[in-house]
Structure 1
Amino acid sequence: MKILITGRPGSGKSTMVGRLRDYLEGMGFSVGGIITPEVRVGGSRWGFEVVDIASGRRGLLASVETEGPRIGRYGVNVGVMDELAVPAIRRAMLEDDCIIIDEIGPMELKSREFRRTVDEVLSSDVLLIAAVHRKTLQSIKKREDIRVFVVDPEKRDRVYLRIIDLLGDYHGMR
């Protein structure tokens, strides 16, 4: 099963993915993959990191000062996706019960290897929970095992409970 979480910026996609990760780990499931937290400097968003969930390794994904392909005001470090994110996701495909990818968006998709790896994950049997940029969602192939959830601040908790129910039914966790 593939659970894709989308919504407007600031809607709680990453928070939702984090809550689901905590839930799965609390149930004894192994979780791997990546998260891409923002980096703030002086109260303003300066950039984004990519973090390997299993090892804790970090790299700078994008910043206002990074040279590389641009997404808005951020330069993207494609190399960190190829050298850190892709191996983390590939390892999770082999070793973990669930893959977390937060986020599949324009910055991350600047990496050809990341795009290829996401396609492999989508074609695999492994459980995926991913935050997906709303403009990226249309490019992901529709498959029977993909469930898309749209979050917004008003219905975040209801969506979380619906996903927990779905996970319980899927994995017999209840």
Structure 2
Amino acid sequence: MCVKPLFLAIITCFGLQTAVAGETRPDIAHKAILTLDSAQNLLKAAQETAHAKGWPCAVVIVDDGGWPILGARMDGAPVVAGIELAQGKARTSALFKRPSGDLENAVNGGRPAALSAGLLMMKGAQPIVVDGQVVGAIGVSADTPAHDDEIALAALSILSRRTTP
């Protein structure tokens, strides 16, 4: 009895695809991920910017699914709920693959239906893009929305410095 035809028949019945001795595999897409090391570097860059400007804040880095990788609230951060706000902003940015302020602008621009998305639509988070793919987001809660975005964008600038020869 030949096992290979039986094996192929079984996997075909179950809709499974696999590579069997000499057969080609279907193309499989690969996606970039945000590592803990990269998240730590982004957090450090955000905190350095915030410290230099005198804007203590909360910073949260999330993956592409909006799940937290790393977060911290600096000493003297003015908003006690800042860590929750930063996480909500970052999650929103990661899931929508755009700055969280875009959704805030949609609501302020007359699109109240955006409120039904169930996410935090406040300025202060930016997507983290690597090789054209959103791999996560950084959310910041300092003292003003403009400062939040400035800190997030400054932290993201370390990515371009690392990839530029």
Normalised by the length of structure 2, the TM-score is 0.30
The structure whose residues are more often strand, as a share, is 1
* Higher CA-based Rg: 2
Normalised by the length of structure 1, the TM-score is 0.29
Higher relative contact order (CA 8 A, sep 6+): 1
